[in-house]
Amino acid sequence: MRPLLIVEAGQTLPEVRARRGDFELWIRAGLGQPQVAVHAVPVYRGAQLPSPAGCCGVIVTGSPALVTDREDWSERTARWLLSVVESGRPLLAICYGHQLLAHALGGIVGPSPKGREIGTVEVHVDAGDDLLLGGPPRVIRVQASHVESVLELPAGARRLAWNEADRNHAFRVGERAWGVQFHPEFDADIVRGYIAGRRQALEHEGLDPDELLRASADSPDGASLLARFWEIARPQSELRE
């Protein structure tokens, strides 16, 4: 049976990890299916990536690294993402992964024009009949933490979501490959941990950590997106290689 592949692009903040675990654990919880077979690959530590044919779908995590640093493991993963898109396997790339997917396909990634975005944010979604984000135009509440953004989408990509801070909060390439800048696996407690951990940087940048903490709130929108992604990937898990 094919597992769901989680490509780990890094770890969360140490103080958050000590209390709540890391990206893989949060993604598993968001899928809403504890019996899902998951294989995690820590590419930031140099782990080798398997053929996309051996998995039912791929989720790429966030990272404290920057895509624009072009680290060797990151560039290698970017090239591998091309093979995932070509394979047609469902792909969900989150935050760093979102930027890396855009970079891999020829998009432009760089410092966010409006500066750091962190906390609970509102994102406008207009995705039509898209399998993952489709439905009527709406505003969702999700968690975010990033200083870089996708400045220009790859050729042929479809923008699905945006807000004032980031005009490319979500996009799709092909039929089943998505990038989302926000963190669907975060809850309010996790994003508060990020705000607390980044307090000094936030104050230096002219942001108010206390106000960001007060404004942080839970929302079902992130977990529902992960659950929907699993519904897209699940048929592939039931096929034998």
Active site residues: 95, 183, 185
3-state secondary structure of 133: coil
Amino acid letter for position 63: S
Q: Would you say 123 and 220 are in contact if contact means Cβ atoms under 8 Å apart?
A: no
Instruction: Name the pairing type of β-strands 170-173 and 177-180.
Output: antiparallel
CA 207 – CA 24 distance, rounded (Å): 29
